[in-house]
Amino acid sequence: MLTAYINAWLPVMGLQALKVPHPVGSKPRLLIVDGFAGPGCYEGGEPGSPIIMLNALRSHAALPKMAGVQFYFLFIEQDLRRVAHLKGLLKEIDLPPNIDVHTEHGAFEDTFGGLVDEIKGKDKALIPTFAFVDPFGYSTASMSLAGKFLDFPRSEALFFLPLSFIHRFVGRDGQESALTSLFNSDRWREAIPLEGAERSDFLLNLFEEQLRQQGQVQHVTSFELRTRDGNDYRLVFATGHDRGVELMKEAMWSVDPAQGTRYIAHTDNGQQVLFQPKVDTGPLLDELRSAFGQRWFSVADAEKVMLPSPYLAKRHLKTLTLKPAEKAGALVVKRKEGRRAGSFTDDARMKFV
């Protein structure tokens, strides 16, 4: 899913970079940060997030059109051995002149936090930024740092949340400081008496709620990752832009074409265990009915209401939701003369029966 999002993000943010003031003689710039970069690849040979992001850009069909944009990759890793291994891999990659890669040894909180503080102190703007925060634990992923860099325009972040581990360690001695830093609140203590899914749901909702209060964040959406051993991880995305959340939802649906919300690892015999055969847009229809009641609304109104949901406007709204509702007699549609039946153009008006 990281590849899918980067593929969609790059050309959009490349255009955004052109709108940001930059010094005379320099190129528009984009910054891609991996806060917990790791060694670059794993024992089984699978590429790590730094290699995934670099390869996504190097192989992107739009890269030749973005020759005027300078891409900066900042890979941060606290373990010296992993830094050395990652640097070795990066030396073997042939990069075009508009891609600069910097690998820093240090803690994400200190390294990236120091950069953000320096920029804020000089009252300057952070260049358009995508930050992937993927800690191996959660003790160094501070919500307060997220708030600092998400306060800049055109900044987005994707957090890897090891929900199973947080669920397990809530209430254990010695975890208090890390959990309070992670959530920027001690409300995580309310999860202690809870059990099972109720505890997990509370912790995820709290993380998302706290993230919505950071910087210029307007949208938060999450994706479930289940491994074969039963661990529950979440990818939680935060952005201040409608287009950003649409891109992330498109990436999610590319991984889960049935629900757009979850991925469960293959079983040992190679068969998948997650996808339903059809997309159920019933919840979307219920959401629209609840939002509009019997008031008239447009396609644009519906798209605004459904933005926080996992559904995609261009894929799920008209053909899979509005058209069947009209056919079933649940929706009345007013169209301008000459518009064909079953169409939902921008000038159509509709209401629920």
Pairwise pLDDT comparison (256 vs 253), residue with the higher score: 253
Quick one: 237 and 164 in the same domain? yes
What is the three-state SS of 212-223? Answer: HCCCCCCEEEEE
Write down which residue in 264, 298, 328 finishes a domain.
264
pLDDT tens-digit profile of 271-325? 333 334 478 899 999 999 999 999 999 999 999 999 988 899 988 999 999 999 9
Quick one: 193 and 244 in the same domain? yes
pLDDT at 329 over 50: yes
Side chain identity, residue 207: F
pTM summary value: 0.80
Quick one: 157 and 303 in the same domain? no
Write down which residue in 264, 291, 316 finishes a domain.
264
Side chain identity, residue 28: P
Per-residue pLDDT band at 266 (split at 50, 70, 90): very low
Write down which residue in 232, 264, 296 finishes a domain.
264
Out of 5-9, 190-194, 264-268, 326-330, least confident range: 264-268
Quick one: 221 and 300 in the same domain? no
pLDDT tens-digit profile of 22-35? 666 678 888 999 98
φ/ψ (deg, to 5) at 208: -65, -40
Quick one: 228 and 300 in the same domain? no
**Residue 62: closest CA among 22, 108, 17:** 17
The confidence score (pLDDT) of residue 251 equals 82
φ/ψ (deg, to 5) at 158: -120, 120
Number of domains in the chain: 2
Quick one: 237 and 325 in the same domain? no
pLDDT tens-digit profile of 188-234? 999 999 999 999 999 999 999 999 998 889 999 988 887 777 788 88
pLDDT tens-digit profile of 183-194? 989 999 999 999
Q: What is the extent of the structural domain holding 297?
A: 282-352
pLDDT tens-digit profile of 97-122? 999 999 999 988 888 888 888 887 77
